[in-house]
Amino acid sequence: MKIKIKKTILLNALSRIQGIVEKNSIKPITSNALFKASNKKITLSATNLQIAIKTNLSDVKIEKEGQISLNAKKIFEIVKNIAEEFLIIEEKDNFHVSISAGKTFIEMLGLPPEDFPDFEEEKNDFKEWNKNIFLEMINLTSFSISRDESKPNICGSFIEYIEDGIIRMVTTDGYRLSIVEEKSKKIFDLNEGITIPVKGINEIYKILLEKKDEEKIYVSVKKNIFILKINDVELYIRLLEKKYPNYKVIIPGEGYNKKIIKLDKNKLREALKIMCVIANENNRPVYFRFLDNNLSLHTEDSDFGSAREDIILKDKAEKEINFCINGSYLIDIINVLEEDFIIEYFEEENKPIVVKKEKKDNVKYIIMPMRMD
């Protein structure tokens, strides 16, 4: 293989795969990137065996077709520090590769390209989807994905169809729950739903943000692999196999005595930031007390002190309401909402707090209350 490529084109592609390749792996091939030159284009691939990515690079001169496998981090650092506009990559004997640019000459030792894992190559059953819908669903829910590896079944985003024309995304860390619903045609057969792992969700989000000018994506589910195609990028993600828990049991149904409270998100966010500076870092308890047109926030910590702030409400609370929740959970919600919101408080003991958009009912957050001392 011998190619001549513009530095900026190669650098952008190598930058994209850095979050996927493993830096210190017992399987060296998962630390490598595969370069394949054929059909007038370069395909750059990387995988950690759970996530794989392929990027097609055009605007490249291929003098000799072939494929090579090089350490992804090393080649990225090399290309980043080359001053020339173009560089030449050439395969030598015994998996040695030369990189030349101007008066710079580097030789790297690669690995056998045939050792690189194959990706699924089926080309059918891809359905078109709106990129902005997927991006918004991830943005509204990803903050509450569990990172606790001892609970692998909730370390991802669960996606299911709840009825014809409505798709739902759910995330939870065991203490809070995020739900968003959007109108969508049936883009793939979810059966009982799929769970995309958190690392896969992060890679999807980065790519969708990067491809801001693209409106359409193409998705497919093959066996236990979720595949996303957008322009010149293909992403393959191994789905979580453990069944997602029955999250619906914690959503309060009808028949409970609930109070609806409207809140100004900006005023509440600033107050909660102060509370969370003082609050115990383990669980950040903030006490809420609604009475008439006043919301009183309070927290205290035996090591740092206490904080209190009052917020004037637009609407009057019909009766006194008291509860305690993790204040940082509510800040996370406020940060992704673009409008003021309502809180549903249930008078029954140990019922969760429900947070919804004020004007749309497609987004719902559940926060489990903390014990009031």
Q: What is the CATH number of the domain that holds 10?
A: 3.10.150.10
Q: How confident is the model at residue 25 (pLDDT cuts 50, 70, 90)?
A: confident
pLDDT at 255 over 70: no
Q: How many domains, in total, are found in the chain? A: 3
Two structure tokens written together for 124: 């059918």
Handedness of CA 131, 134, 137, 138 (dihedral sign): negative
Residue 80 forms part of a structural domain: yes
Global pTM reads 0.92
Q: Do residues 343 and 360 share a domain?
A: yes
Counting beta carbons within 10 angstroms of the beta carbon of residue 227, is it exposed (0 to 12), middle (13 to 18) or buried (19 or more)?
Answer: buried
Q: Do residues 99 and 135 share a domain?
A: no
Question: How do residues 104-137 score in pLDDT, each as one tens digit?
Answer: 999 999 999 998 987 766 666 889 999 999 999 9
The position carrying tokens 């429900």 is 354
Domain that holds residue 202: 127-248
- Of 338, 203, 340, the C-alpha closest to 263 is 340
CB atoms within 10 A of CB 336: 16
Residue 121 forms part of a structural domain: no
Q: Do residues 132 and 88 share a domain?
A: no
Q: Do residues 182 and 141 share a domain?
A: yes
- Of 203, 141, 197, the C-alpha closest to 167 is 141
Ranges of H-type helices in the chain? 7-17, 72-81, 131-141, 198-210, 265-278, 327-336
- CA atoms of 33 and 44, how far apart (whole Å): 7
First-to-last C-alpha distance (Å) of the chain: 70
Higher pLDDT, 43 or 358: 43
Handedness of CA 327, 332, 337, 342 (dihedral sign): negative
Q: What is the mean pLDDT of the chain?
A: 91
Two structure tokens written together for 287: 């006490």
